[in-house]
Amino acid sequence: MEGALVDRKGILFQKGVGALKNAGIQNPVLDAAVLLGYVTGVPAATVLMDRDSVVTPGESRTYASLIRKRCERVAVSRLVGEREFYSRNFHVNEDVLDPRPETEVLVEEAILDLEKLEENAAVLDVGTGSGAIAVTIAAQLPRVRVTATDISMAALVVARRNAERHRVQDRVDLIQANLLYGIRGRGCFQLIVSNPPYIPRALFDDLPDEVRKGDPMVSLVPGENGTEHYRPLAEGAMEQLSADGNLMVEVGAGQCDHVAGIFKQAGLKDVAIIHDLAGTGRVVRGRKKSA
């Protein structure tokens, strides 16, 4: 597409699809539609409703540039600056993990748990990144207040922007902290959720380029084994959870049994594994029993 000055949307779209196919991109039609919609200011689903509409030379050049970058394995979300999660759009940049569909399993389980509570619940989201989990929970449940932490101040800036975007900034408190260390309010959270980094160091080089080059490494790899953060989360939760409160964490493929064992060793009860639609153990939960 170098130097292309296409002025018809349909032709421009087909050139983008062709370039992405030649580069081996997995979803060329969808990606081309998202990028052309971004450039022309229309939703991807309706990008070809008017195939003969005129695209300006400036839009054509911008689209060609985005297609080239996508062919170089830059993720679409990085190119357009946002990612859909739980039917909401979230701002993302190089400072935060790109929200994944797998994490919606954790959010769904958290919402189901909180809907059973009669009181106004307090939730702690550890390692919030873009704020996708914290903001979604707050947006779905108006009676809930969420404390969201991250070790990265740059990530918290992104989370604040997303809280404001979805108008829940008055119920999402952002704190810079490493895991549960230094969190005040011991014993006051009815639910603690976390999607911590869980990629073993040895597997980092095998990740897709879009992930390996786009997401912060600190959000992907916690150490050699990939499970380093689960023990401090489980042990800290025993102090921070209220009686009968729950800890829920996302885990990587094949990690659920090991993490469940960590939960039990820390004293959490009713430990359970929740599977995603593919049958993969995706979430581990445990309860702090009342005395």
Residue 269 pLDDT greater than 80, yes or no: yes
Residues 41-54 have a mean pLDDT of 83
Domain residue ranges in the chain: 9-72, 82-287
**pLDDT for res 2:** 45
What DSSP letter does each residue of 23-56 carry, written as one string?
Answer: TT-S-HHHHHHHHHHHHHTS-GGGTTTTTT-B--
Of the listed ranges 1-15, 162-176, 266-280, the one predicted with least confidence: 1-15
pLDDT at residue 78, rounded to an integer: 92
**pLDDT band, very low/low/confident/very high, at 267 (cuts 50, 70, 90):** very high
pLDDT-wise least confident of 33-47, 149-163, 164-178: 33-47
Hunting for tokens 């230094």 — which residue is that?
Answer: 182
pLDDT score at 38: 93
What average pLDDT does the structure give for the chain? 91
Q: In this structure, what token pair is assigned to residue 218?
A: 């600190």
DSSP string, the chain: -TT----BHHHHHHHHHHHHHHTT-S-HHHHHHHHHHHHHTS-GGGTTTTTT-B--HHHHHHHHHHHHHHHTT--HHHHHTEEEETTEEEE--TTSPPP-TTHHHHHHHHHHHHHT-SS--EEEEES-TTSHHHHHHHHH-TT-EEEEEES-HHHHHHHHHHHHHTT-TTSEEEEE-STTTT--STT-EEEEEE-----BGGGGGGS-HHHHTTS-GGGT--BSSS-TTHHHHHHHHHHHEEEEEEEEEE--TT-HHHHHHHHHHHT-EEEEEEE-TTS-EEEEEEE----
- Per-residue confidence band for 52, with pLDDT thresholds at 50, 70 and 90: confident
Query: Does the domain spanning 82-287 belong to CATH 3.40.50.150?
Result: yes
Range with lowest mean pLDDT among 118-122, 177-181, 190-194, 236-240: 118-122
Average pLDDT over residues 250-272: 96
Per-residue pLDDT for 129 more than 50? yes
Average pLDDT over residues 258-267: 97
Strands 241-250 and 281-287: antiparallel
Of 217 and 265, the one with more pLDDT: 265
pLDDT band at 3 (very low <50, low <70, confident <90, very high): very low
